[in-house]
Each structure stands twice: as C-alpha cells, then as structure tokens.
Amino acid sequence: MSDTPHDLGGDTHIETERADAARPDGAAIRRFALPSLLGILTFLTPVRVDGNWTILMGLISDTGKNFVGAGMPWVVYGLLCISAVGTVYAKTLGR
C-alpha cells in the first residue's frame, strides 16, 4: 500500500498537446462573439428616443405594435400556429 493516498501508480506526465488542439479558431470565436454583441446591443444598451431612455428591444417592440396595431393578436396567433405545425413536422416527418 502506498503512503500517499493520491498516488495512482500511473504515468504522471501531463499531456499539453491536447490543450493546444482544443483552442478555438477565429471562426469559432466569431460565431460566439457576434451573437453575444448583438444581444448586448439589443437588451442592454440604452438609446434615447423622443427624450426618453429605452433599450433597443423596447423600441423594436413599440414600433411593431404601432405598425400592426389591432391585428397584433392575429399575428401572435399565426406565429403560434406556424410554431406548432413546425414542431409536429420536425418530430414526426422531419427525421
């Protein structure tokens, strides 16, 4: 029995080549950074509109409500139906 409980009796060489191979390339960094920056701009960056501070997503939402007007429930209902049909298709026929 060994005096040290953490001694596994195996190779103590730490492999460093795999760590270098796992480093992300430029394309992977861009695939992560661009959506992250878009999310930061959309949800966290304040903008001033007509003397009031808001976020960009609030501005987009208000513009959409003003554009669609009273038809907003029908737009939401249509998107819900498209989502439901797409889900059923993907789970049954899309395999």
31 part of a folded domain: yes
87 part of a folded domain: no
36 part of a folded domain: yes
Number of domains in the chain: 1
42 part of a folded domain: yes
Backbone angles phi, psi at 42, to 5 degrees: -75, -45
85 part of a folded domain: no
Whole domain around residue 55: which residue ranges? 17-68
| pLDDT tens per residue across span 43-80 | 999 999 999 999 999 999 999 899 999 999 999 999 99
Angle between helices 26-43 and 56-68 (to 10 degrees): 70
80 part of a folded domain: no
3 part of a folded domain: no
43 part of a folded domain: yes
Model's pTM, two decimal places?
A: 0.54
